[in-house]
Amino acid sequence: MKKLITLFLLAVSSFSFAQNGKVENVSSEVFKKMIEDKKGLLIDLRTTDELKAKGMIKGATQIDFLAKDAEAVISKLDKKKTYLIYCAGGGRSGDCAEFMHKQGFEHVVNLEKGIEEWKKKGFETVIPK
């Protein structure tokens, strides 16, 4: 019986960890350092038109969070990896971080004020081809 209770508690704590992954909202400076240190996979959540007009952070992969299939695409990502996400001003990426948290992602880092703040700090962006 004692063994069964121990196994149950381990299972519950594992489930709890998966459901309570870590979401961080960070400044441009912290986000930049995490990119430089290769602390996670970088994802730009804006539309293609936004990327072409305003640029993107070098090395980012685009997942248009406004697209109909965005949640399905995000759900297929490896939940054990760390993701560095951003959008224009932090709203979409905040919504995405919340979605990812509910899906059981272990570590999501949100650029708190988006790429607009990033650019105000003078950090580099590139125009995609």
Structural domain tally of the chain?
A: 1
Classify strands 41-44 and 61-62 as parallel, antiparallel or unpaired: parallel
**Strands 41-44 and 107-111, how do they pair?**
unpaired
Residue 2 pLDDT more than 60? no
Q: Tell me whether residue 61 is in a domain.
A: yes
Give domain status of residue 129, yes or no.
no
Say how far apart CA 16 and CA 99 lie, in whole Å.
16
CATH code of residue 99: 3.40.250.10
User: What is the reported pLDDT for 35?
Assistant: 97
Whether residue 104 is contained in a domain is answered as yes
What domain range is 48 assigned to? 21-120
Q: Smallest Cα–Cα separation from 74: which of 91, 49, 97?
A: 97
Quick check: is 74 in a domain? yes
Residues 28-84 pLDDT 10s: 999 999 999 999 999 999 999 999 999 999 999 999 999 999 999 999 999 999 999
Q: How sure is the predictor about 21, in pLDDT bands with cuts at 50, 70 and 90?
A: confident
**What local confidence, expressed as pLDDT, does residue 41 receive?**
98
* 113 part of a folded domain: yes
Residue 9 maps to a domain: no
Distance from chain centroid for Cα 105: 9
**41 located within any domain:** yes
pLDDT band at 20; cut points 50, 70, 90:
low
In a domain, 94, yes or no: yes
